[in-house]
């Protein structure tokens, strides 16, 4: 999951926060 979080952060998209939260829950 850590890798996914980093990938979303790199994207720098506005939805990056939502994506990270979803990954964290899973």
Taking only the tens place, the pLDDT of each residue in 1-26 is: 555 555 555 555 555 566 666 666 55
Q: What is the pTM of this model?
A: 0.20
- C-alpha pair distances (Å), 11 with each of 7, 24: 6, 17
Q: How many domains does the chain have?
A: 1
Q: What is the DSSP string of 1-26?
A: -HHHHHHHHHHT-TTHHHHHHHHHH-
pLDDT at 23 (0 to 100) = 62
Half-sphere exposure of 17 (CA within 13 A, CB side): 1
Q: Would you state the pLDDT for residue 2?
A: 54
What pLDDT was estimated at residue 19? Answer: 62
Q: Residue 4 is part of which domain span?
A: 1-26
């Amino acid at each position: 999951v850590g890798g996914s979080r980093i990938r979303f952060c790199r994207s720098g998209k506005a939805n990056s926060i939502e994506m990270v939260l979803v990954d964290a829950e899973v």
